[in-house]
Structure formats: C-alpha cells, structure tokens
Amino acid sequence: MTAILYEHPLNERIRNYLKLEQLFTQVSDCLQCGIAISHGTFFSSLFVIIDTLERNDIRGDLIKDLEKLEQNLVIWSQIPAVDSTIIEENLRSTIALSSQLKKASPHWLQLKDDKFLCGLKQRFAIQGGSSHFDLPQLQFWLNQASKYTEQQCQQWLSSLAQINQALALILKFTRQRAEFTTINTESGFYQDSGEGLVLLRIRINAKLACYPTVSGNRFRYSIRFVLPCEESGRKYAKQAMSFQLAQC
C-alpha cells in the first residue's frame, strides 16, 4: 500500500525539532541539486535555522532529551533480548553528543560572525530583497568555482552538525516509541487522550482523496479528515475512514 505519512507535534519542543529537521533536509537537498540553482532555498532555510536556534533554547532541550535517552539506553541494555551492539552504539553517540553540546560556546554561533552571511541575511529578511541587483556579492559568489562554493556551504553546515545529529537521534527514538495501529472511524473524526504523548504519526492510503487536520495538546487531541473542495478550498469528510496511527 502506498501511503502518505503525516506527523503532528503535541508540544512546542517537538514542534521546533520537526521544523529544524525539515530545514536541515532542505539545505542538504539543495547541495544535492547544486547550489547555483537552489541557493535561494539554501540561504532562506539556513537563516531560519539560525533564527530558531537564537530564539529558542534548542540546545538546552536537546541536552535534557539526550540525558533522558542515555538513562533509558542503560536500562534497555540490561534486558536480555535486546541487541546489545545496537544499544552500545547509540549509547556512545548519545554520550558524545551530550558532551559536545554542553560546551560553553556552541559551534553554530560562528555563523553569526560570518560577514558574508550577515550581509545576505539582512536582505533575505526583506520580501524580494534577494534579487541579484540588491546582492551583487551573492552573484559574485555564485560565479566562483562550484568546488569552492560547495566547500563553503559544507563548512557552514559543519557548525550545525552537532545540532542536526542530536535532532536525528532524538527524533529516531521518539518515533520508535509506538507502532502503527489501524483505526476505523465512521464519521471522518477521531479523538483520544494525549496524556504522555509528544507526537502523532498518521498514515493514510494515498488513494484516499483526503488529509488529516489535528488539534489538541498533550492532554487531548482530535483528528478530522478533510477533502479538497474547489468552491470552499476544503470540506470535512463525513464518511467512514480507515487509517493507521502511531501515538508516540
């Protein structure tokens, strides 16, 4: 079955994690496509990553989550049926990342002092401000050897590598907290308790012409399925619906 996977956070911390994960994916994809073609998306995503890290204590949240993960991994390692090799590998990664993030000066702060990025960031904050006639330095940079521009992009991203790796590790274990179960609803609507949950993962058959909208928080949530509509933009589905749900 070809399915579409939707994810919805139930607290602000996971919301920030998912947003950063998507932004890191975008900058990585831009390098795969070629920076000369995708530089607009690359720099826009990079600047949003920097702003998100500045406005939120992402590093503090990651350290706390890594410490919790370390404790859980130690407990899991004592279970006979668990693959000790995988546990030990993840435990080493968790301890190393936690130690690196606790250092006084985060590596990503170097990006704030980069004169080239600072000049671009000011213009990218203005709608339509990234045109070539407003940023001749960007046009000059893009016309340098591709090896040089790609190397510089990799250097910028290396300052964010610890954040990216910690995010990937925490989200991997968050998603593994629950398996998918099939849910059947008769009216295109489903609700349940959100106590103890941080993330909902909803998997829907791609052949179904609908998508889920989620509202709620860690205490209670509801899922309502929506059909695209040319007249009003969308309308709520009222027919029986079957989907898969993982409550993480």
- Cα–Cα nearest to 124, from 61, 35, 47: 47
Position 104 scores a pLDDT of: 72
CB atoms within 10 A of CB 9: 21
Position 231 scores a pLDDT of: 65
What's the whole-number mean pLDDT along residues 94-113?
A: 89
Q: What is the pTM of this model?
A: 0.92
Helix, strand, or coil here: 248? coil
The residue that leads in pLDDT, 64 or 124, is 64
Q: At the fourth CATH level, which superfamily is domain 181-247?
A: YacF-like domains (2.60.440.10)
Position 79 scores a pLDDT of: 84
Long-range CB pairs of 178-182 (<8 Å, 24+ gap) are 178/246, 178/247, 178/248, 179/246, 180/244, 180/245, 180/246, 181/244, 181/245, 181/246, 182/242, 182/243, 182/244
The answer, yes or no, to whether residue 64 has pLDDT greater than 80, is yes
Are residues 111 and 43 in contact, defined by beta-carbon separation less than 8 angstroms?
Answer: no
**169 φ, ψ (degrees, to nearest 5):** -70, -45
How confident is the model over 202-231, as pLDDT tens digits? 999 998 888 999 998 888 999 999 988 666
Residue 190 contacts by C-beta under 8 Å, 6 or more apart in sequence? 183, 222, 223, 224, 245
Number of H helices, E strands in the chain: 8, 8
Helix, strand, or coil here: 142? helix
CATH numeric code, 11-175: 1.10.3900.10
What is the residue extent of each domain of the chain?
Answer: 11-175, 181-247
